[in-house]
Structure 1
Amino acid sequence: MVPLIFCSFVMWTLILDRVLFFSRLEKKDIELHTLVRIMEKGNLPGKVRGMRANLVRHLMANRTRNTAVDKGIVDQCAMAMRPYLEQYLAAIAVLAAVSPLFGLLGTVTGMITTFDVITLFGTGNAKAMAGGISEALVTTQSGLVVSIPGFFMSVLLYKQSARAKSRLTEAVSILKRSL
């Protein structure tokens, strides 16, 4: 149970980190139609945060007025952002996949305990066998309780990552056309 609890704690810590990260990306971000206006005016409101705002902020800070160089700056910034959109997602999926295996390990140790009791006392002592069977069932259930929501959250976070990458690609495309 200890590895399963540790696995669950790490997985849910990473899930919470990603949920907060994706919510901050969308929270006070600028709309696509305002990207061009912001680039023309040259000023980005201070309270604006998010992925598109960071892209514009980076471009405005490093802008050279040379179209080819500025397009490269946009690409460079987008490439630097992409790994953060996928960060920890594979680890969350692996931890969700490993947790039923930890449950299975507990099942095996519980059954070994049950067979040891049978070896010592025979099948006549149901109370002695119940401890091993209980250990087997509890660890199996715990592994599934950790795994199923973990897989669900992993899929949701992968979808959020794909949406964020799509929004980033749209913003890069619009910024490149406006340069």
Structure 2
Amino acid sequence: MVTLYNLLESIRGFIELGGDVLWAIMAVLLVMWTLIIERYWYLFRVLPGERRALIEQWNERSDHRSWHAHRVKEEMISRLKGNLETNVRNIQTLVAICPLLGLLGTVTGMVAVFDVMAYFGTGNVRAMAAGVSKATVPTMAGMVAALSGVYFASYLDRKADIEAEKLEDLLQHD
């Protein structure tokens, strides 16, 4: 319980250090990782069953060579690929939003620095330092958040193509 309290206190301190924009970055990060985890769940839990069902459906067909059979096969592959690509573009969009939110934090932090400079001049270094931290911490947080999702977004995109090609290979002609 104490460890959880310390963790939450550290997060609160970090958000105070970086400003309110960190709440937005944290919300985007939470949604992004929820979608990433959902996609992995689909890949490893749902996809094998769907693939088996499509292969069985294809094997039950007596006609595998006609023009109509080719269109049915293309539709099956397209349907699976559509299921595989669900939310991948959303994840990529959220990855792209994170650095932009960090930049928004940079701008708001610099505005705070200029406010202090306008009011106190350069005499209040402590207040200026608080504004500088509000300018740099969101930038770092936005970049780290984006980097945490870049690999997974590109992996999921590649995996959709690979799995569609695998299904096409499995649905061979007689």
Letter in 2 for 1:21: Y
Per-residue deviation, residues 1-20 of structure 1 (Å, max 9, x unmatched): 22211211111111111111
Counterpart position of 2:90: 91
Q: TM-score scaled to structure 1, two decimals?
A: 0.75
**Is residue 77–residue 164 contact of structure 2 (8 Å, CA) maintained in 1?**
no
How do 1:1-179 residues align onto structure 2 when only pairs under 5 Å count? Answer: 1-24=22-45, 29=48, 49-51=49-51, 53-59=52-58, 63=60, 65-67=62-64, 68=66, 72-172=71-171, 174=172, 177-178=173-174
Given that residues 103 and 143 in structure 1 are in contact (C-alpha distance below 8 angstroms), is that contact kept between their aligned partners in structure 2?
yes
State the 1:21 CA deviation. 1.2
Structure 2: how far apart are the matches of 1:159 and 1:72?
Answer: 24
SS in 2 for 1:65: coil
Q: CA deviation at 1:25?
A: 5.3
Aligned length: 151
Query: Given that residues 81 and 161 in structure 2 are in contact (C-alpha distance below 8 angstroms), is that contact kept between their aligned partners in structure 1?
Result: no
What is the alpha-carbon distance in structure 1 between the residues aligned to residue 93 and residue 122 of structure 2?
40
For the Cα contact (< 8 Å) 1:24–1:50, is it kept in 2?
Answer: no
Segments of structure 2 that go 5 or more residues without pairing to the other structure are 1-21
Counterpart of 2:122 in 1: which secondary structure? coil
Whether the 8 Å CA contact 1:58–1:77 is kept in 2: the answer is: no
Per-residue deviation, 1:120:
0.6
Q: Distance in 1 between matches of 2:139 and 2:71?
A: 52
Task: Return the letter of the residue paired with 1:17.
Answer: E
Indicate the RMSD between aligned Cα atoms, in angstroms.
2.0
Q: Which structure's CA Rg is the greater one?
A: 1
Deviations 1:28-84 (A, max 9, x none): x4xxxxxxxxxxxxxxxxxxx351x12123346xx4635546555444322322211
